[in-house]
Amino acid sequence: MTETWIILGATSSMARAFARAVARNGAQVLLAGRDMADLQASASDCALQGAPVAEALHFDARDQATFAPIIERATALEGMINVAVFVGSMPTQEAIDADPSLIAGTVTDNYAGPAAFLQMIAPKMEERGGGTVAGVGSVAGDRGRIGNYVYGSSKAGFHTYLSGLRNRLTRSGGHVVTVKPGFVDTSMTWGIEGMFLVASPEKIAADILTAVEKRKNVIYTPGFWRLIMGIITAIPERLFKKLSI
């Protein structure tokens, strides 16, 4: 069965690994992001890995004018439309403390931008009676922590949005997977101290693909993060507010 994966934020290493995995399964891929030269390189890779269609398209979470052409291109292709959202940004908490105006951009990159895109494409998915959204959130969205709460809250907003979208798309045969990765070995985390149990982008991509196939609702990847976050969310607030984890 023909299907298309729109991959938002396709230059990230997780997105690249995921695009390669779905390309190997024979899906059509639309790689959306800002660095067109890099996306072009990934598109040629996907085509050679087995994608019958692999194209680079311009996408900027902060510029909604870039959304419609991607949706048009996807609807011009046959088969189910799927969307994987890898877009996001993580300024350090210190940078945000110094310049609170960074919050608006962070929220747009992690939540408002991709949510607006999904809102625009949802009717097209409903028309075709299926399709899957894999939305990459973060374990940081499960609880506000002193070191990362602006990023975390934008991801929490995105989680809640995905939960609502799941509720909606399931009525037309569609599905939404909320993906909460722990620490991943990407260029975003390269050289940052305090990383532990770091997973490869390929591992995350494989977990997402399995979750999509099994129509899971919310996954932690690697899976042990469910346990870690279970403990962290269980800590009573009166105690948690004094911790710096």
Partner 1 sequence: MIWNKLTYTGWGRVRSATAQVARPERTSTLAATQAEQSAPAFGMCRSYGDSPLNDGGHAVDMTRMDRLRGFDPDSGVLEVEAGARIGDIARRFAPDGWLPAVMPGTGFATIGGCIAHDVHGKNHHVEGSFGQHVLEITLMNDGKLQKISPSKGAKLFRATIGGMGQTGVIVSAKIKLLPCKGDIITVTERRIENLDHFLEALDNSQSTYTVGWVDATAKGDALGRGILEEAETGYGLVPDAKTPKTVPFNAPKWALSNPIVRLFNSAYFRRVPEEGRTSVKPITEFFFPLDKLLAWNRLYGKRGFHQFQCVVPVAEAAVLRIMLDKIGREGLASPLAVLKRMGAGRAGLMSFPMEGYTLAVDFPNRGAAEALIAELEEITKNAGGRVYLAKDATLDASPIRSMYPDVAKFAKIAKEVDPDGHYETDQTRRLKIRSHA
Residue numbers at the binding site for partner 1 (CB under 8 A): 11, 13, 16, 35, 37-38, 41-42, 44-45, 48-49, 187, 190-192
Please, what is the minimum distance in Å from the beta carbon of residue 18 to partner 1?
A: 14
Where helices occur in 78-148 by DSSP H, the ranges are 93-98, 102-107, 113-128
**Nearest to partner 1 of 100, 191 (CB atom):** 191
How many whole angstroms separate alpha carbon 149 and alpha carbon 57? 32
CA 101, distance to chain mean position in Å, is 23
**Nearest to partner 1 of 172, 200 (CB atom):** 200
Please, what is the minimum distance in Å from the beta carbon of residue 232 to partner 1?
A: 25
**Nearest to partner 1 of 42, 154 (CB atom):** 42
**Nearest to partner 1 of 165, 205 (CB atom):** 205
Please, what is the minimum distance in Å from the beta carbon of residue 17 to partner 1?
A: 10
Please, what is the minimum distance in Å from the beta carbon of residue 27 to partner 1?
A: 17
Please, what is the minimum distance in Å from the beta carbon of residue 48 to partner 1?
A: 4
Side-chain-facing half-sphere of 27: CA atoms under 13 Å: 24
Q: What region, left, alpha or beta, does residue 129 occupy, with left being phi > 0 and alpha being psi -120 to 50 degrees?
A: left
Pairing of strands 3-8, 80-85: parallel
Question: Which residues are within 8 A (CB) of 225 and not within 5 positions of it... i.e. 6 or more apart?
Answer: 139, 180, 181, 182
**Nearest to partner 1 of 41, 116 (CB atom):** 41
Please, what is the minimum distance in Å from the beta carbon of residue 45 to partner 1?
A: 4
**Nearest to partner 1 of 49, 163 (CB atom):** 49
How many whole angstroms separate alpha carbon 31 and alpha carbon 162? 21
| Helices 113-128 and 149-169: angle between axes, nearest 10 degrees | 10
Question: Which amino acid, 147?
Answer: G
Question: Which residues are within 8 A (CB) of 201 and not within 5 positions of it... i.e. 6 or more apart?
Answer: 13, 14, 16, 17, 184, 185, 186
